[in-house]
Structure 1
Amino acid sequence: MNPLLEPFDTAPFSKIKDEHFKPAFLRAIDEARAEIDAITENPENPTFENTIEALEFSGRQLDRISSVFFNLNSAETNEHIQKIAQEVSPLLSEFGNDITLNTELFKKVKSVYDEKDELDLSPEQIMLLDKKYKSFSRNGANLPEDKKKRLREIDAELSKLKLTFGENVLAETNKYELHLTDESDVEGLPEGEKEAAAQLAEAREKEGWLVTLNYPSYIPFMKYAENRELRKELSLAFGSKGFHGDELDNQKNVLKIAKLRYERANLLGYKTHADFVLEERMAETPEKVREFLQELLEKAKPAAEREFKQLEEFANELDGIDRLEKWDGSYYSEKLKQKLFDLDDEKLKPYFKLENVIAGVFKVSELLFGLRFEEVFDIDKYHEEVKTYRVYDQANNFICLFYADFHPREGKRGGAWMTTYRPQYIRNGENVRPHVSNVCNFTRSTSTKPSLLTFNEVTTLFHEFGHGLHGMLANTVYPSLSGTSVYWDFVELPSQVMENWCYEKEALELFATHYETGDPIPMELIEKIKDSATFQEGMQTLRQLSFGLLDMAWHGIDPTDISDVKTHEVQAFKGTRLYPETPETCMSTAFAHIFQGGYSSGYYSYKWAEVLDADAFAYFKEEGIFNKEVATKFKDNVLSQGGTENPMLLYKRFRGAEPKVEALLERAGLLKKTDMVSSK
């Protein structure tokens, strides 16, 4: 018996064996294909119900199996699962093309689309119809047969290349370790970080201390370790993932992905991949994205250069460093921050015990949206570390099942993300509630200390939880418009706006208590957190803009003649570089957001959404950060609506006006209130 092919409410992780996946995929694809055939062979005239809705609710079994499998491939993978992913991804790509290139099916969809003005459809139905029609027209339905064939070949190849890219980055991360046996080599590391490094060494049956490229290990070493040569070694290892000319090298994969995406866009009648992608984004065109990034760059660069000069002078004064390198940045920034604000993570971490921060984000969501989280122990899970919660509203209605997975493991990719095992939708009168997951890589507990988060980890937890809320509070009819199924440059608004509560006294007092004494975080520390919030904001902004510009440099042009990944990257970074170039490193070969994930031509959206979130939080600040009326407007017009309407309409319904870029520049300290700049 295959548990994936039996009806299941929650994912039956403990019953699933790796060998169940491929047969389940093959059966589910066949079933979904039969559902598509039933639509195309229906002798009745095409209607919204028998064509568009039928298409929307086809393949639900396949979608659920895919959710379970690909989430495991990110959070708890192994060689067998990776091999299956390489086998099934082309099959899924081919099946997707079988739908979008199905001439008879497209005729039926087009027939309904052409009559949409006479159909008396709701805004959500209009959006679904538009989305379904575009899923065909934007993916080759109007192409001649020879071009359809080429499109299939490209999609199959891209699906495998993206997987290989991610597998190589994970393998590079896992294979590197910095093994230290001399106590002087860990000089400067706080006791908790030393203990974690010793515990990691012990777990791998080694003496001394181990440092890896996983963030909870890598970042503290770069921030605190006094040994400059070791910082350099670690920095170069981190920055050269996929750039060693060996079997894990990603340079050819980067070039192939960029060129295939460009060819695909051309086949479909678009100038570049970015032109294709941005047609379905708030930003609309590559030109608008470049203008947006350039406007922020002009505002941020003078501040970034001043901050960098200050950092250089500080490093020189402190240690006689005459040339600041990338491996010096975190170390001297932390020391300068301590000097200017008398604040460092080691003072803050005792107030951010992981369990308390989780309770804090739950409390914030209760005060804003009336949610109650109840930890439960009867839900099947894929790893013992995963926590599970049932979520209820004030009237005790079940809202969502929530999975939370917080620590790094060998089979888990780096970073932090939100995902769903089941979306919310309404079918046959039942509001099917979602199963949402947050996955992070936070510092583990040690033998003497619980998991204590850095302030950056606290904001990351709130960020991912914001995505989670977008999924949890979804209240739409159709699954493909539910939760985070929105324009990509709108999807970061709920996550980024949640980070703002981490800086507010009223919110911090709810959960920031000392893990040993229970004392609340002192007011002076709260003030220092707020005062330091814009520390090196110019440099941080420049860094984010550089990533957005690199993304556009790969996807907003014709990449046909690019032969050297590093040379192209150096050119893309030219206007944003502060540190000297390091020939041994390359970001593109490990830039999973754009070459493995869904951010190609979309990395700018983090900054775009920062404008939205700064403007939105300004509204909360005006009325009170726990103001129920504002929170309800945000829930009803943004969080619950998913992708049912144009995001700017939803935002204006919440805020009463379009967002202004000034809100972000003011918050970041990059704009005096008297300055005037144009808004988006």
Structure 2
Amino acid sequence: MSDVGSEAWSRQRQIAENREPNDGAGFYIEFLVYFHVYVSERRRTRLQYSTATQYIDRESRPKPVDNSAPGALHDERTLRQIFDSKDFWKEFSSSSKAGAKGHNIGLFQNRYLVNAKGFERFADANLQKAKRIVSKVLNASSKHEYQSIARDLDRLSDMLCRVIDLSDFVRATHPDERIQYAASQAHSMMFEFMNVLNTTTGLNEQLGIAMADPEITATWTEEEMVVAQALKKDFTKSAIALPKAIREKFVRLSQEISEIGHDFVESMEPAQRELQFSSGKLKGMDPLLVRSVTRWGSAVVPTHSDISIAAIRSVQDESVRRDLFLANRTSSPAQIRRLDDLMRKRAQLAKLTQYESYGHLALGDKMAKSPESVNQFLSALSEGNKPKAKQEVDQLQQLKDRHTNGTSARLQPWDKDFYMSQLRSSMRSKSRNPDFLSAYFSLGTVMQGLSRLFTRLYGIRFAPRETVHGEAWNNDVRRLDVISETDGHVAVLYCDLFSRPGKSPNPAHFTLRCSREIAEEEVQEAAVSHDRIFASAEEAANDGMATSRASGSLRQLPTIALICDFRTSAKASLLSFSEVQTLFHEMGHAIHSILGRTSLQEVSGTRCATDFAELPSVLMEHFAADPTVLSLFARHYETDQPLPYRLVEEKLAVDKQFSGVETESQIILAMLDQAYHSEAPLDKSFDSTQVFHEIQRQHAMLPQDPEGTSWQGFFGHLSGYGSTYYSYLFDQVLADRIWKVVFQGGQDGASIDRERGERMKESVLRWGGGRDPWRCLSDVLGDSRVRDGGKEAMAVVGSWKKAS
């Protein structure tokens, strides 16, 4: 349950809550951190799989991408048709569904993954390579050997991630339970090896020796230094250098934190589960909803439910709204005990690893660096947002005055959503239904529009490619090759965008394999030992997945999956404007991975600081609402008439009507997150409810929750985003600033200007996590004030909210 009502915020929070695990700064390859716990898989009887290996005829292999044919215009037309026309898609994909036309090439063209047994072979092959790398690092003794440690550890990261990232995706997505189980086993195999690495203190010692020698570090690239520093921080966080007894306590605490965090998210419950009213007191609420909870004239409303939220937004009787609000905002005592226990154990873990607080532990490798810097940002942001928030609160008070015939009744906490909903309803056009914009946004035209936008900004386009037999996990998956004007084939994008039974409804971006430069010695190594399933050593070096030599050296291309849950119809899949924004958001993550040009995978694409990772995706939401961008593609799916932009303006005006109070709510939650992850939970008198009410009292323009409520028990992000909840606010401010400064707010066609696109690409996107994000920000904005980061830079960023 969130404290925010706007559709845009709800969508962003949903994305954050269900965010892909590898979409951050090397999430999975923080192998130097003791993993909190490995969640055991569902117990199943081990299945017997065929051990037969399928050898692939070279004639049946996919042909390399030809940039000259059939051509960009043909690809663009095809792009729209494969998403909009079921008949066209059936014909386009027919040969990939016919097994007789060729051997199974393997999932994602990974030659191991032709059947369930292949996952074991895939994991074992990469595990053996990883063990050889560990041995090499531990036995390094000469300067030459120490010079390669950063790259060696990055390759170790790649060996682990290429199995874990892909297996994690497959076990959650593939429809075949045998494949799911096999992927889980491969995933588990690599996690077990990482737990062995967690006890290998020699890795930390060897990295320390290399970093302490100026002659060695002088030979490192900027990327190598960033990777080395990141891994060293991970060592520090993991307590690996501390005495054995402390390390063992660290592991116990980490396991307890994981278990409590899981229980906190899964066991959210209100103190009072339901309230009963006469159905007549629910006047104003959707009659169908009222009927669904009414028996014999009495309505029983679950207090922590969508029905309760709908009632708070629509029921005219203030006493009903009050009772539901209080119940909806009051957690069970058991849930509050879980939260207090979680915060206390995190504070203990931080002290154990010699950090001042959990916030200091969590933020050391983020842009913010410290809780003090986060609070500087939030304070400056709050100050800039206050005038707008106050104006909106006054507007709500005026609405209540009119609604209550000028009785001077004060605005109450349970009034906010009711009067916001009333005003938004009055702003919507009475002549159109809520989905009137959808007719202009067929999925095919939106994908076509994204390709046109990226062509104009970055010189890349989407080229539809027929999947080879065995390559995709579902017949509805579309493969797009990303083609650059200068570098040819630069990425593979699998689009699984249509709704089907059993599929997760949450939109997500997954990097199945990161971009990375493959060293010639790796190719030579593969030439000696590669399996017969590969046609060449180069193919074996990347398990058969996409590579390119367009830039001279061999590169493994980023392989990305986009998951959405768009409804289909007999004619076309028509998207709401919010779904268009969602697709643009997820494509922002993808473009970060696609345009990253790092040589090391640990810092490729979205593997950057967590509080920088959402910048490209939030920025893409600006493009989704820009008239010049929409004019590239938004046309009525039947009449082909262009979209009248005033319809979008109306939708945006409704969505943004109370952005001030919604931003204020998010600021308060971010402040609460920082307060909970301070040293305070170590005090025996710590009371999370009291802290929540005190922060509201100090910073809220809206009336605060009454005493006795305890909403913090429903703040699920405290588990997964401990001390980093500010990140969405932070990246939203950064994106707003870049949109205004670099793309001139979309004025005079700046939103599709190549020079401005190149500025964004060369200053930010190409670096992934391989350059200090403050330097990237300073370069793209031309603002030296933020180049060195720190509290002052965080305050400057906070002040941009008012300036924009």
TM-score range, shorter chain: 0.7 to 0.9
Contact 2:285 2:311 in 1 (8 A): no
d(CA) in 2 for partners of 1:477, 1:420: 16
Match of 2:420 among 333, 342, 355: 333
Q: AA paired with 1:348?
A: L
d(CA) in 1 for partners of 2:194, 2:763: 32
Percent identical pairs in the alignment equals 23
Determine whether 1:625 maps to 2:710.
Answer: no
Match of 1:307 among 392, 396, 402: 392
Match of 1:356 among 445, 461, 472: 445
Match of 1:421 among 500, 509, 512: 512
Determine whether 1:488 maps to 2:577.
Answer: no
Q: AA paired with 2:236?
A: S
SS in 1 for 2:752: coil
Determine whether 1:476 maps to 2:598.
Answer: yes
SS in 1 for 2:705: coil
Contact 1:463 1:498 in 2 (8 A): yes
1:89-114 CA deviation, whole Å, 9 max, x = no partner? 99877754543552322221111111
Compared CA separation, residues 115 and 374, structure 1 to 2 (3 A): same
Compared CA separation, residues 554 and 408, structure 1 to 2 (3 A): farther
Determine whether 1:510 maps to 2:632.
Answer: yes
Compared CA separation, residues 187 and 34, structure 1 to 2 (3 A): farther
SS in 1 for 2:220: coil
Determine whether 1:133 maps to 2:232.
Answer: yes
SS in 1 for 2:597: coil
Match of 2:460 among 348, 368, 371: 371
Q: How far apart are residue 476 of structure 1 and its match?
A: 0.7
Partner of 2:164 in structure 1? 66
Determine whether 1:55 maps to 2:153.
Answer: yes
1:173-228 CA deviation, whole Å, 9 max, x = no partner? xxx99xxxx9x9999879xxx9xx9xxx9xxxxxxxxx99999x989968997798
Match of 1:298 among 383, 398, 401: 383
d(CA) in 1 for partners of 2:596, 2:146: 23
SS in 1 for 2:763: helix
> What runs of 5+ residues in structure 2 fail to find an aligned partner?
1-48, 55-105, 293-300, 520-552, 787-792
Partner of 2:485 in structure 1? 394
d(CA) in 2 for partners of 1:423, 1:647: 19
Contact 1:341 1:531 in 2 (8 A): no
Contact 1:46 1:108 in 2 (8 A): no
> What runs of 5+ residues in structure 1 fail to find an aligned partner?
202-210, 674-680
1:145-186 CA deviation, whole Å, 9 max, x = no partner? 2212222333344455555556667xx9xxx99xxxx9x999
SS in 2 for 1:472: helix
d(CA) in 1 for partners of 2:183, 2:676: 26
Q: AA paired with 1:130?
A: Q
1:21-42 CA deviation, whole Å, 9 max, x = no partner? 7998789667645542343145
d(CA) in 2 for partners of 1:416, 1:234: 34
Contact 1:474 1:642 in 2 (8 A): yes
Compared CA separation, residues 212 and 438, structure 1 to 2 (3 A): farther
Q: How far apart are residue 276 of structure 1 and its match?
A: 1.6
Determine whether 1:553 maps to 2:675.
Answer: yes
Compared CA separation, residues 9 and 89, structure 1 to 2 (3 A): closer
Match of 1:438 among 562, 568, 574: 562
Compared CA separation, residues 81 and 477, structure 1 to 2 (3 A): same
d(CA) in 2 for partners of 1:226, 1:244: 25
Compared CA separation, residues 186 and 425, structure 1 to 2 (3 A): farther
Q: How far apart are residue 296 of structure 1 and its match?
A: 1.5
Moved more, 115-124 or 634-643: 115-124
Partner of 2:528 in structure 1? none
SS in 1 for 2:156: coil
Compared CA separation, residues 506 and 549, structure 1 to 2 (3 A): same
Partner of 2:764 in structure 1? 638
Q: How far apart are residue 290 of structure 1 and its match?
A: 0.8
Partner of 2:575 in structure 1? 452
Q: How far apart are residue 371 of structure 1 and its match?
A: 1.9
Contact 1:90 1:159 in 2 (8 A): no
Contact 2:138 2:202 in 1 (8 A): yes
Moved more, 538-547 or 24-33: 24-33
d(CA) in 1 for partners of 2:516, 2:247: 32
Q: TM-score, normalised by structure 2?
A: 0.66
Q: How far apart are residue 122 of structure 1 and its match?
A: 1.9
Q: How far apart are residue 318 of structure 1 and its match?
A: 5.1
Q: Which has the larger radius of gyration?
A: 2
SS in 1 for 2:729: helix
d(CA) in 1 for partners of 2:304, 2:476: 17
Partner of 1:465 in structure 2? 587
Compared CA separation, residues 562 and 13, structure 1 to 2 (3 A): farther
Q: AA paired with 1:641?
A: W
Contact 1:100 1:135 in 2 (8 A): no
Q: How far apart are residue 656 of structure 1 and its match?
A: 1.9
Compared CA separation, residues 667 and 40, structure 1 to 2 (3 A): closer
Partner of 2:526 in structure 1? none
Match of 1:36 among 124, 131, 134: 134
Contact 2:518 2:554 in 1 (8 A): yes
Partner of 2:249 in structure 1? 150
Q: AA paired with 2:454?
A: S
Match of 2:779 among 646, 653, 662: 653
d(CA) in 2 for partners of 1:589, 1:648: 35
Match of 1:278 among 363, 382, 385: 363
Compared CA separation, residues 661 and 138, structure 1 to 2 (3 A): closer
Moved more, 123-132 or 516-525: 516-525
d(CA) in 2 for partners of 1:235, 1:516: 45
Match of 1:605 among 724, 727, 732: 727
Compared CA separation, residues 92 and 433, structure 1 to 2 (3 A): closer
Compared CA separation, residues 661 and 533, structure 1 to 2 (3 A): farther
Q: How far apart are residue 390 of structure 1 and its match?
A: 2.0
d(CA) in 2 for partners of 1:275, 1:606: 19
Q: AA paired with 2:667?
A: L
d(CA) in 2 for partners of 1:538, 1:638: 29
d(CA) in 2 for partners of 1:647, 1:383: 38
Q: Number of aligned pairs?
A: 635
Higher relative contact order, chain-length normalized (CA < 8 Å, sep 6+): 2
d(CA) in 2 for partners of 1:238, 1:57: 53
Determine whether 1:115 maps to 2:213.
Answer: yes
Contact 1:368 1:632 in 2 (8 A): yes
d(CA) in 2 for partners of 1:495, 1:397: 24
Match of 1:103 among 201, 206, 218: 201
SS in 2 for 1:404: strand
d(CA) in 1 for partners of 2:708, 2:109: 46
Contact 1:417 1:439 in 2 (8 A): yes
d(CA) in 1 for partners of 2:244, 2:607: 31
Contact 1:407 1:441 in 2 (8 A): yes
d(CA) in 1 for partners of 2:232, 2:711: 37
d(CA) in 2 for partners of 1:61, 1:365: 31
Compared CA separation, residues 90 and 61, structure 1 to 2 (3 A): closer
Q: AA paired with 1:508?
A: L
SS in 2 for 1:475: coil
Compared CA separation, residues 646 and 32, structure 1 to 2 (3 A): same
Contact 2:381 2:799 in 1 (8 A): no
d(CA) in 2 for partners of 1:588, 1:79: 38
d(CA) in 2 for partners of 1:573, 1:439: 37
SS in 2 for 1:280: coil
Q: AA paired with 2:488?
A: N
Compared CA separation, residues 397 and 448, structure 1 to 2 (3 A): closer
Q: How far apart are residue 664 of structure 1 and its match?
A: 8.1
